Structure 1
Amino acid sequence: MSDQGEMPEMPKSPMPAEVSQFRISKDPVLTRRFLKFFPSVANAPGAHNLAQRYFFFQARNAIYHGLRALRLSPGDEVLLPSYLCAAAIEPVLALRAKVEFYRIDRNCQPDFNDIERRIRPETRVVLAVHYFGYPCDIANFREFCDKRGLLLVEDCAHVFQDEVQGKPLGSYGDISVFSWRKFLPLYDGGELVLNVPRELSVTWAKEGTLSTVRAAKHLVEQSASYTDSGSLRALVSSLELAKSGWDRLRRKKTKTAPKPCTDFVGVEFDQSLVDLPMSRISRWVFRRSDVSAIVAKRRENYAFLMRELSSISGIRMMFPDLGAHHCPWVFPLVFEGIEDAHLTLRARGIPAVTWGGVRHPSVPSGEFPEAEFLYKNLVMLPVHQNLSEADLHAIVQESRLICRSYGSTAVGNQASAPCPTGDEKR
């Protein structure tokens, strides 16, 4: 494994950083079955920690390489939830595999009977999602796949830190994928975890100077958005000038092959970025992040919104119980009977989003009514650790006004100060 793809352990990371050389079989299903029936081997020194970790520029690239490690071949089929961001679907199609979707109910819970019905001879992989930082029935997914000889991809893109039955999220799947830039002020950063060791060859691309400048500029911009510091704003301007100057210099070097463009655009899968590692600056921030403080603040913000929004008629919270360990990515809710509530909130300065704009065209229209409802109506509110008390009160106030003004043309005509957040990305 190249040094560009490894990183020291993050404090209290959900997955261990060490890489074990323990091997049983090149087939992950056989390996998992062996460990299940021979627990003495599974508990032997060095065998309890089989995880291999790779850090990529984007989580979608981690999905791509994870499926490669599972030896997904053209024509193989992957079962995906019908409510899913397109960024998680594109890597599957890039490997020329087939996609089939299974039913998700309005509470984002999987229908295992529907999954069973859709299994075919070419089905090899099932993908399970921990939506918005809340664990799905991942133990059932694991048992379901083991009994049928299927591989399990655990999508932890919305997970920062949590556990189920004493095991950390990310340790149930044959592979797991995290998206750290959803929680931290990172320009880039996704992680692939291979829980059953596989051989994975990555020809790591070299991080260019421009990529480093972009990552530094993003970090300073994130810091400046939560402060009135003039020095930080000046630093942002300096980095922008440096980036522009480097762009001009690169354009003059016509004989040099262009570096991959690392500006984020949409949810499409960019093959030129697939071998790019997590940037040096993002790794630096990642290693030094105070995990406990971030978890505590996000939980505090979520609890505030849960308490204040619960008294507003017309709001249905997706997860009205914060639990003991959950670290939420966002606050998902439905404004009952109100269309495009997120657009009204955005017009009022609240960075609310839905997945309506990131629905993949391969999801069949009309086949999954519950998913259709979620794409259109499930609104995600920010709970970012840097939100101020005034930001949280603004979110509650604007949500209350929407519910009170339902049916009135006055809704959304007045704008308030925006609440900053850096969460809406994969």
Structure 2
Amino acid sequence: MKPVWSSLDTKVNSRTRAILMVHYFGQPQDIDKFLNFSRKHQLFLLEDNAHGHGGSFKGKELGTFGHIGISSPRKFLDIGDGGLLYLNNSYEEDSLPALNYQEQETNGGQIRKYLNKFPVAKHKLKLFFKKRPEYENPRAFREPYAEDLYLSRKSSLLIDSTDWKEISKLRRKRFVELQEISVHGGLSPVFENLSNESNPWCFPAYAKDQEEAIHWFNWGWKNNINVHSWPTLREEQILKEDNAFNRWKKLICFPISDQPYL
């Protein structure tokens, strides 16, 4: 989940323009190393904080360290939209695209929010009408393409009014609880230690093999807990069947909810 720094210098050449820093699952990378490396080689630092909105590093908000950063608060709130773009260079205001708002929620979004008020009934309907997603199939999920995604004013207000420090504190507590449960269940946590400034998106762990991972997917489906795989793989990664693909087969992610599992 982090670069092999000893070999990274040899990868840089005259065509290299940027380095990407991803805070996987909301766990901050070694940001000082990324900053020093990008300065040393005069590279743009692109920061992907889609998994860790609300987290920080040395008191500074994640997503704001790179020349360009992104964050995804919608992964933590009951909203269908809401992404953030951070620009740390100076830009002329009229050179940036105008921010558009979508005032009306889609019918699907309204139905989802209504059903969320009745979780038990929603779960029974799901078991009756749907099959468990094929989390073990690397080709099952592909990100949908959209020409434009609008940010609703309602979502914008919710993002701004949320107490992210309090949410982060609670989610770190749930993360530690899940860590204890996973070890007791024979799983291997991806991270030995959690940053005390992070806002974890989920709890990742490795099963012994894909068969055991499927067991956990089935357990989550029956108990209304969205245990899932991650990430979506490119076709060339699937065909190579390399170490990364073999690790993907064993990786399972537990959602972090407001309530403890036990």
Quickly name the TM-score band, shorter chain normalised. Answer: 0.7 to 0.9
Verify: 1:374 aligned to 2:250, yes or no: no
Partner of 2:219: 345
SS in 2 for 1:372: helix
CA distance in 1, matches of 2:154, 2:164: 18
Partner of 1:182: 75
Partner of 1:115: 8
Say if 1:367 and 1:148 are closer, same or farther in 2 by CA, change over 3 A.
Answer: farther
Would you say the 8 A contact 1:187–1:219 is kept in 2?
Answer: no
* 1:46-83 superposed Cα distances (whole Å, 9 cap, x missing partner): xxxxxxxxxxxxxxxxxxxxxxxxxxxxxxxxxxxxxx
CA distance in 2, matches of 1:162, 1:173: 15
Scaled by the length of structure 1, the TM-score of the pair is 0.50
CA distance in 2, matches of 1:343, 1:131: 21
Residues matched between the structures, number: 238
Larger Rg: 1
Say if 1:160 and 1:281 are closer, same or farther in 2 by CA, change over 3 A.
Answer: same
Say if 1:111 and 1:288 are closer, same or farther in 2 by CA, change over 3 A.
Answer: same
Would you say the 8 A contact 2:51–2:75 is kept in 1?
Answer: yes
* 1:106-156 superposed Cα distances (whole Å, 9 cap, x missing partner): xx1211244333333222121110010111112111111111111011100
Partner of 1:315: 187
* 1:212-231 superposed Cα distances (whole Å, 9 cap, x missing partner): x5555544444x14588xxx
CA distance in 2, matches of 1:278, 1:382: 25
Would you say the 8 A contact 2:81–2:150 is kept in 1?
Answer: no
Q: How many percent identity over aligned positions?
A: 26
RMSD: 2.8
CA distance in 2, matches of 1:172, 1:179: 16
Verify: 1:355 aligned to 2:227, yes or no: no
Verify: 1:296 aligned to 2:191, yes or no: no
Q: Which of 53, 63, 66 is residue 170 of structure 1 equivalent to?
A: 63
CA distance in 2, matches of 1:364, 1:308: 31
Say if 1:168 and 1:292 are closer, same or farther in 2 by CA, change over 3 A.
Answer: closer
Partner of 1:281: 154
How far 1:191 sits from its partner (Å)?
A: 0.2
Q: Which of 32, 42, 54 is residue 161 of structure 1 equivalent to?
A: 54
Scaled by the length of structure 2, the TM-score of the pair is 0.78
Letter in 2 for 1:283: S
Say if 1:309 and 1:209 are closer, same or farther in 2 by CA, change over 3 A.
Answer: closer
Would you say the 8 A contact 1:216–1:281 is kept in 2?
Answer: no
Say if 1:206 and 1:335 are closer, same or farther in 2 by CA, change over 3 A.
Answer: closer
CA distance in 2, matches of 1:210, 1:297: 29
Would you say the 8 A contact 1:352–1:382 is kept in 2?
Answer: yes
Q: Which of 296, 313, 324 is residue 196 of structure 2 equivalent to?
A: 324
* 1:166-223 superposed Cα distances (whole Å, 9 cap, x missing partner): 4332221101100111111111110000122234421555626454x5555544444x
Q: Which of 120, 137, 145 is residue 269 of structure 1 equivalent to?
A: 145
Would you say the 8 A contact 1:188–1:215 is kept in 2?
Answer: no
Structure 1, unmatched stretches of 5+, are 1-107, 229-264, 394-426
